[in-house]
Amino acid sequence: MDEITCKLLVIGAGPGGYVCAIRAGQLGLDTVIIEQGKLGGSCLNVGCIPSKAIIHVAEEFAVLSSAASGKSVMGLTASAPTIDLAKAVGWKDDIVRRLNGGVGGLLRKARVKILHGHARFEDGKTVVVETETGSQRVRAEVVVIATGSAPVELPSLPFGGAVISSTEALSLSEVPKRLAVVGGGYIGLELGIAFAKLGAKVTMVEALPRILPLYDEELTAPVARRLDELGVEVLTGATAQGVQAKGALAVGTADGQGRRIAADKILVTVGRKPVTADLGLEELVLDMDGRFIRVDERCQTSMRGVYAIGDVTGEPMLAHRAMAQGEMVAEIVAGHPRAWDKRCIPAICFTDPEIVSAGVSPEEAKAAGLNIKVGQFPFAANGRAMTLHGEQGFVRVVAEADRQVVLGIQAVGQGVAELSAAFGLAIEMGATLQDIAGAIHAHPTLGEALQEAALKGLGHALHI
């Protein structure tokens, strides 16, 4: 068997792994990365990027459909639009292809050796890769596990046929006439809304009493209203029980009556699980956190010289968290004094309208016994939001009552995803309400709502 040695071996080239390898290469570490699929991992190939492309297609289609309905308040008219989903998927695939190439180029520029194949541990410092041309053994001083996550399958709804995961949903060649979505979390909501805009009759089945339970109800209420406008039926406190003959989903409902939902496709989005199977983890002595690999504040596992980053280490399963962990671990391996010291990991749900949350919510702050003040400003009073026909929603700032240091910022509204950078920066830099209120925010922008929310927290908002 061929054998190579290196300083750092990264298993998995998703956002966690490839960023770790690039940074390690930049720091002069002799680095190898192993990927069994395509460079970029779930995020680039079947996650963040493809879903946002399809969501954008759906949004464009919704604008045309609204114009064609003759009800456009902006005076737009159009004739009945059609969608060639196969072509839209082709456009999405082209974006993915370009980004795949980009990741490969960046890895090569950083002098990282890329091995294509499945990796399996022999011991804590040795991994065997099954490549197309045979087996290769890699010995490394340090190994980083960045194997990511995969969709959770429900025993009552195994994937196959009409039952699909987000991966298949992002590559359909036709819009299903009737789509049942099981799980009203991130993926269910993002894709359910997109397919509703593309013309599918969508029914959402969520086990808990409300959709997007990760976010507080004030933030999710505008999304619930939009679902209603789009004709999406939402069943909460409901559980999917299995497929019935002739394309129907059996659902146990809160009232005990049960429902039968006709569906051409059933999209199951009930969470993601870590990819740890067939990795040879039994050869190592790793402490686990449930199914996830337990790591400390340096992403070090319980075994010396073995680190883990990204989705395989648990929630929040977000690409930017994986990337930040990857960068940190590369620097630790290069000898830099690093540890996880982030104040927040902003989270965005790309629904309609979008939701952003950075830092703590009022509920979380109160539960932690913090004395806070909250400033909230509605987009109904923001000129730019009105010109975008996006008056729904608000920006909310949570600050310490005495020192006025900002602890959290949340927003719901059209286009608020792009405000997340300002929210994260303010919290990371320890900004106070005065810092935000005192910075000039260009007019007319949605960002002015952040400044006004801070002013509201100080007791003197100007435009409300």
Q: How far apart are CA 179 and CA 200, in angstroms?
A: 6
Q: Choose among 45, 175, 33: nearest CA to 99.
A: 45
Active site residue 443: yes
Q: Shortest Cβ distance from residue 239 to ligand FAD (Å)?
A: 22
Contact residues for ligand FAD, defined by CB under 6 A: 11-17, 34-37, 41-43, 46-48, 51, 118-119, 146-149, 166, 187, 275, 279, 310-311, 317-320, 322, 350
Burial of 290 (0-12, 13-18, 19+ CB in 10 A): exposed
409, β-bridge pairs:
358, 397
Cα dihedral value 213, 218, 224, 229, nearest 10: -170
Q: Which residue lies nearest ligand NAD, judged by its C-beta?
A: 185
Query: What is the closest distance, in whole angstroms, from the C-beta atom of residue 268 to ligand NAD in the complex?
Result: 8
Q: Element (H or E) spanning 167, and its range? A: helix 166-169
The residue among 251 and 455 lying less far from ligand NAD, judged by its C-beta, is 251
Nearest approach, Cβ of 256 to ligand FAD (angstroms)? 33
Cis peptide before 176, with omega less than 30 degrees from 0?
no
**Shortest Å, Cβ 152 to ligand FAD:** 11
* Helix, strand or coil, per DSSP, at residue 135: strand
Q: To which residue do tokens 């004739």 refer?
A: 79
Which CB atom, from 213 or from 444, has the smaller least distance to ligand NAD? 213
Chosen from ligand FAD, ligand NAD, none, partner binding at 36 (C-beta under 5 to 8 Å by type): ligand FAD
**Residues 278-317 interacting with ligand NAD (rule: CB under 6 A):** 316-317
Cα separation of 13 and 192, whole Å? 28
Footprint on residues 98-157 left by ligand NAD (CB under 6 A) = 154
Q: Which of 56, 116, 443, 463 is catalytic?
A: 443
How far apart CA 281 and CA 264 sit, in angstroms, is: 39
User: Which is closer to ligand NAD, CB of 172 or CB of 454?
Assistant: 172
Interaction partner, residue 119 (ligand FAD, ligand NAD, none; CB < 5-8 Å by kind): ligand FAD
Closest CA to 305 of 322, 325, 329, 275: 329
Residue 375 makes contact with ligand NAD by CB under 6 A: no
Catalytic residues: 443
Residues that bind ligand NAD (CB under 6 A): 154, 182-188, 190, 205-208, 213, 239-240, 269-272, 316-318, 347-350
